[in-house]
Amino acid sequence: MKRRDFIQLAGLGTGAFMMPAFAMGRNVSPEAFLEKSVDAAVNKRLADAALNAAKSKGASYADVRIGRYLNQFVVTREDKVQNIVNTESYGVGVRVIANGCWGFAAVVDVNNEAQMAKAAEDAVAIAKANAKLMKEPVQLAPQKGFGEVSWKAPIKKNAFEVPIKEKVDLLLSVNDAAMKNGANYVNSVLFLVNEQKYFASTDGSYIDQDVHRIWPIFNVTAIDPKSGKFETRNALSAPMGMGYDYLQANPSDKITGVTTRYNKGYDMLEDATAAAKQAKEKLTAKSVEAGKYDLILDPSHLWLTIHESVGHPLELDRVLGYEANFAGTSFATLDKWQSKNFQYGSKQVNLIADKLQEGSLGAVGWDDEGVNTKKWDLVKEGVLVNYQAIRDQAHIIGEKESHGCCYADSWSSVQFQRMPNVSLAAGKTPLSVDDMIKDVKKGIYIIGDGSFSIDQQRYNFQFGGQLFYEIKDGKIAGMLKDVAYQSNTQEFWNSCVQVCDEKDYRLGGSFFDGKGQPSQSSAVSHGSSTARFNGVNVINTARKI
Amino acid sequence: MSIILTESEAKALLQKVLAYSKADECEINLLGEERGNLRYARNEVSTSGSLINQNLSVQSSFGKKVGVATIDEFSEESLEKVVRRSEELAQLAPENPEYVSILEPQTYLKSSGFFESTAGINADKRADAVAKSLELSRAKNLTAAGFLDNQKGYSAMMNSKGLFAYYPSTSVNFSLTVRTPDGTGSGYIARGYSDVNKLDTAAATTIAIQKAMGSMNAKALEPGKYTVILEPTAAAVLLENIYFNFDARSADEGRSFLSKPGGKTKLGEKIVDERVNIYSDPTHPDLPASPWAGDGQPLDKITWIEKGVVKNMIYSRYWAQKNNVKAVPSPSNVIMDGGTATMEELIKSTKQGILVTKLWYIREVDPQTLLLTGLTRDGTFYIENGVIKHPVKNFRFNESPVIMLNNLETLGKSERVVSTESDRNYMVPPMKIREFTFSSLSDAV
C-alpha cells in the first residue's frame, strides 16, 4: 500500500479523489486471521520445487519467498465506525540469477509444485532476456545457509486476536474524549500488520518468520467559525514492531513536560484529550516570526529528519545511482566515505543502523535474502564511516558480507536494499530536556512530525511539526504556529550541540517509506533522545488565498 | 482460463458467485491483471519482473450492517466460502449509519482503453524498447536510469439489483533519468500511454539527453519571486493537489481550501484565473479511463472548474443524500484544457524567467491554503529576453497551486503526462506563471 492510498483510506486526507476501487488489496473476514498459517513442511516442498526448476533451467542462484500478508484497519470518525477492513495477500515470488542477470516472477493462487516450477522458469526466462543488456554480471556476497530456522516478533499480545469490539470501543472513546475537549472533528484509525514470510534459497536456508506491527493514529481538527480558519493536531504515537501491548501504557512509558509523550506504551485517550485542547490553542497561537532559532527537537519529530537526511542518503543503491530515476542519488558519495574524515555532523552525532532493536519496525531475524540481521555504525563522532548494503553491493564497499537489510513489501515485489532502523545515539553525559532548554536564549521546541520534503540528493530539506513552543531566555514562552525550518543536511547535523541522555530515548518511525520502481513501502523506526541544533533557518508558512 | 476474463466470462463468474448470496443486498467486484516491468540504472538492467493478479471482493449487507470479504482463488468451493464469510462479517459488524443501498442497473459511456498492441508486450519487447534508449545514452557517454512498466487487465462488477459493468484496459509507462558522468547535469522524461504504438523510447531519450547536457554547470540565482514556465510534468504534481481536495463534505465541514467562514463553501465562486478549465471525461481519446466507479456509479463527463469558477465538488452517495443533491463520484481521469502557445512561444515571450521541467518531493504544508513545498529537479533554466541563457541551480519552492493559477500568464497545448508523485496520468498544459515563490537554493543535481 502506498502512503497516499493509506491516507485516503484512513480518512486522514480531505477527500477520496480518484481512489482506485481496489487500492486496498484483498479483504477477508476476521476469523480468517486465526486460521493456522501454511505449514513449514508444505512451504519447504513448494520452495524446493522452484529452486530445483530454476537450477535445471540454468540459474546460478535462486530464492523463493512464500508470503502471507495480513492487514487490519479499524477506521472511525467522531461517533461512527466508517470501515473495518481485513486484507489478506498470499502468493510467491521467485528470484534468480541466470547468465549473470537478475530475473523475478511472482504468482498468486499457488497450491502445487508445477506452479512453483513455472514461476521459476519464467524468472529464468526474464533473466536471460535481460542479460543481453547487461555488461557486468551480478556479484553476490557469499552467504552460508542456516538450514530450517524461524523467528517471531517478541509480542506480548497478538493484536489480531483482540476482538473487533474492543478495538472499536477504544477508538470511539478516543474520539469522544477529543470531541468533549473542544475538537470539531476527529478521525482515528488502528492499523495492524502481520507478515508471515517463508524464505528459501539455493544457499540452503529455509527461514520461517512472523512479523507484527501496530500503528494507532488520530487527527483532530479545531475550527474557528468566525474566521473560517482551522488547525489540526495528529497523534504523538509511533508505529511499532509490537502487539496490542503497545496500547497499554504504564506510568514509566510517559514523558511528562509541556505535553505528554510516550515510549513503549501509548495512552491514546490521554493524547487525544490533549490534542483537542492544543488544536484549539493553535487557532490563537502567535504566528512565528521568520529568522534563525536554536531548535530543540523531540524524538517524536526528530525521527523524520533522521529518516530523510541520514537514512536515505546512506542507502548504497542511491549512492551508486540505482535510484537515480525515482528516489534520487546522494550527496554522501563514495569519495567522502573513502576520505575517512567527512564531517557529516558534529562530534555529538553518532548514527547507528540496527536491524535487531526490540520493538522497532525493522527488527527481523533474517532479511529477505537470507542474511542474518545485525547492528553497525554509519556516522561515528560526526564522521561518515559506512553505508547500508545488501549481497550484490557488499563488494563495492569492500565488505565480505551483506549488512542484512534487503526487503520486499510483498511476495509480488522483488526484494532490494531498504533502510534498516537508523538512530541517533543518546548523549553519554546526563542531560534532561529541562536542562537543555534552560540554556536556550531564542529557540523553538518542536514536538511531533508534520510536513516534510528533501531534495533528490538529500542536501536541502524543510520540515514542519505538530506542536511548536517558543523558548525565550531559557523558558517556554507559549505556543507558535506556521513554523517550518529549512536547512542543509551537513550544516544541520554539524549544528547539533547537545543530545539528551538515554532516559529520554524513544522510537519514532514510518509505515510507508517509499522507494523503487514499481514503488514499494517499507516500515522503519528511528530512535533518538531530544537534541539541540543551533541557528537553524525558520520560515513562516501562513498564506492567504 | 486466462487471468484476463472476457466480458462474457466475467459475467458468468459473477452470476455464479451471486447465486450463493443470502444477504439483503450483495455487490461483487472482480479484477484480473498481468504486469511486466524492466528497470535499469548505471546503463545496466537492475531488477525486472512479471506479475499476475486476480481478486474477487464480495460485499454483503443485512439492513445497514455490512461485511466485505475477498479471495484470490476461484474454485467453486472458494467462491461459496467468500460469500459466506462476507455474510458472517456483516452479521458481526455494527450498523453503519452512512450505508447507502446498492444501485439499480446503470448506463455507461463507451470508453476504449484496451489496446492489443500493449497487451502483446513481453520480456523481449521490453528489452528491445529499452535497448533503443540505452544505445543513445551509452553513445553519448551518459548514464541512464529508467523504468518501463506495462499492464493489461480488466475490472468487472455485479450486484443483486442486476447491475453489471465491465472495463478492460492496458497501459504502458516509461520514465528515464540521464545524468552526465561528472554529475553536474541531469535530465528527465516520462511518457504514459494506453497504446504502446505511441511510445517512442528513442525520441523520449533524446529529450532527456538534451536536458542532461544542457543542465551541466548550473549557476546559482537568488531565491525569490520569479516568472516561471512549468512544463506539463512539473505542473501536474502541483495541480493534482487541487484535484485531491475537491471533496464536498470536507468543504462543508470547514476543513478544506474550498471552505469559507460560516460553514459555506466556494462552490460557484471564481477561485482561479478565468482561462482555467478542468474536467473529467472517461472517453477522452488521449486519456481513456473507466466509465464507472467501483460502486457502479456512471462516470460521465463532468466539469470541476469552468472559467475559473468551481462548478462541481465530489459528493459521496451518503453526503449527497443528506444534502439533497446529486451524488458526484470520484473521477477516473482529469483534464485541464490548454491554450494554443507552443513551448517555443512561451519562452520567446518571456523577458526574464525560469523554465522548470520537473518538480520533486511535493508535500502539503498548509491544507487551508494548499501551500505546497518541493524542489525543482533534472533541468532548470534561466530565460532572458526570450532565450534560454543558462542552467540554474535547483530551488526549493513554497507555493499554493491556487495562488499559482491566479497568477497565470499563458497556457500552452495540453498533453498527457504521468505524475512523478502519484503515477497517475493527466492531461496538463505547459503554463507561464508570474511571481512563483522560490524560498531557498539546493545543491542537488
* Model confidence pLDDT, tens digit, residues B162-214: 999 999 999 999 999 999 999 999 999 999 999 999 999 999 999 999 999 99
- B257 closest CB neighbour out of A229, A462, A545: A545
Domain limits, CATH 3.30.2290.10, in chain B:
7-212
- In percent, the amount of chain A with pLDDT more than 90 equals 83
Residue A543's closest chain B neighbor by CA? Answer: B369
Min CA distance, B357 vs chain A (Å)? 15
Min CA distance, B184 vs chain A (Å)? 12
DSSP SS3 for B351: coil
| CA max distance for chain B | 73
Last residue of a domain, one of A168, A186, A218: A218
User: Which CATH number applies to B7-212: 3.40.250.10, 3.30.930.10, 3.30.2290.10, 3.40.50.11060?
Assistant: 3.30.2290.10
Residue B179's closest chain A neighbor by CA? Answer: A324
* Model confidence pLDDT, tens digit, residues A70-85: 888 888 999 988 877 7
- Do A315 and A188 belong together in one domain? no
User: Does residue A270 sit within a domain?
Assistant: no
- Do A532 and A454 belong together in one domain? yes
* Model confidence pLDDT, tens digit, residues A370-385: 999 999 999 999 999 9
CA B238 vs. chain centroid, Å, equals: 12
Whether A473 shows a pLDDT value over 60: the answer reads yes
Tell me how far apart the alpha carbons of residues B392 and B383 are, in angstroms, rounded to a whole number.
10
Binned at pLDDT 50, 70 and 90, residue A167 comes out as: very high
User: Does residue A66 sit within a domain?
Assistant: yes
- Do A179 and A295 belong together in one domain? no
Q: Which of A456, A466, A491 has the most B C-beta neighbours within 10 Å, making it the best mutation to test the interface with B? A: A456
Partner-chain contact A484 B256, CB within 8 Å: no
Binned at pLDDT 50, 70 and 90, residue A315 comes out as: very high
- Do A318 and A421 belong together in one domain? yes
What was the ipTM of the complex prediction?
0.93
Please, are residues A350 and A379 in contact by the beta-carbon 8 Å criterion? yes
Q: Please compute the mean of the pLDDT values over residues A196-209 and round it to a whole number.
A: 97
- Do A20 and A130 belong together in one domain? yes
* Model confidence pLDDT, tens digit, residues B340-363: 999 999 999 999 999 999 999 999
User: Does residue A32 sit within a domain?
Assistant: yes
- In percent, the amount of chain A with pLDDT more than 70 equals 93
Whether A261 shows a pLDDT value over 70: the answer reads yes
DSSP SS3 for B123: helix
Domain assignment of residue A30, given as a range: 3-218
Q: Domain with A191 in it: what CATH number? A: 3.30.2290.10
- Do A406 and A524 belong together in one domain? yes
Grid coordinates belonging to A132: 543481453
R_g (Cα) of chain A, nearest Å: 24
Last residue of a domain, one of A200, A218, A236: A218
User: Does residue A84 sit within a domain?
Assistant: yes
Partner-chain contact B375 A102, CB within 8 Å: no
Chain B stretch 356-375, residues whose beta carbon is closer than 8 A to a beta carbon of chain A: 360-371, 373-375
User: Does residue A520 sit within a domain?
Assistant: yes
Among candidates A1, A65, A72, which has minimal Cα distance to A32?
Answer: A72
DSSP SS3 for B315: strand
- Do A201 and A299 belong together in one domain? no
Tell me how far apart the alpha carbons of residues B267 and B281 are, in angstroms, rounded to a whole number.
20
DSSP 8-state symbol, A240: B
* Residue B78: its H or E element: helix B76-92
Binned at pLDDT 50, 70 and 90, residue A110 comes out as: confident
- Do A30 and A128 belong together in one domain? yes
What pLDDT is recorded for position B359?
A: 98
Tell me how far apart the alpha carbons of residues A186 and B316 are, in angstroms, rounded to a whole number.
19
Please tell me the total count of domains within chain A.
2
Mean pLDDT of chain B: 95
Q: Please compute the mean of the pLDDT values over residues A78-98 and round it to a whole number.
A: 87
- B363 closest CB neighbour out of A131, A223, A451: A451
Q: Which residues in chain A have their CB less than 8 angstroms from residue B259's CB? A: 228, 230
Q: Which of A309-318, B6-15, B88-97, B231-240 has the lowest mean pLDDT?
A: B88-97
Binned at pLDDT 50, 70 and 90, residue A14 comes out as: very low
Q: Which residues in chain A have their CB less than 8 angstroms from residue B71's CB? A: 26, 28
Q: Tell me the CA end-to-end span of chain B in Å, nearest whole number.
A: 49
Chain B stretch 147-206, residues whose beta carbon is closer than 8 A to a beta carbon of chain A: 147, 149, 155, 175-177, 179, 186, 188
Partner-chain contact B361 A17, CB within 8 Å: no
Count other C-beta atoms under 10 Å from residue A39's C-beta.
Answer: 11
Partner-chain contact A31 B88, CB within 8 Å: yes
Partner-chain contact B55 A22, CB within 8 Å: yes
Last residue of a domain, one of A218, A243, A275: A218
Partner-chain contact A130 B51, CB within 8 Å: no
Whether A32 shows a pLDDT value over 80: the answer reads no
User: Does residue A266 sit within a domain?
Assistant: no
Q: Which residues in chain B have their CB less than 8 angstroms from residue A453's CB? A: 361-363, 373-375, 396
Q: What is the pTM assigned to this prediction? A: 0.94
Q: Which residues in chain A have their CB less than 8 angstroms from residue B131's CB? A: 132-133
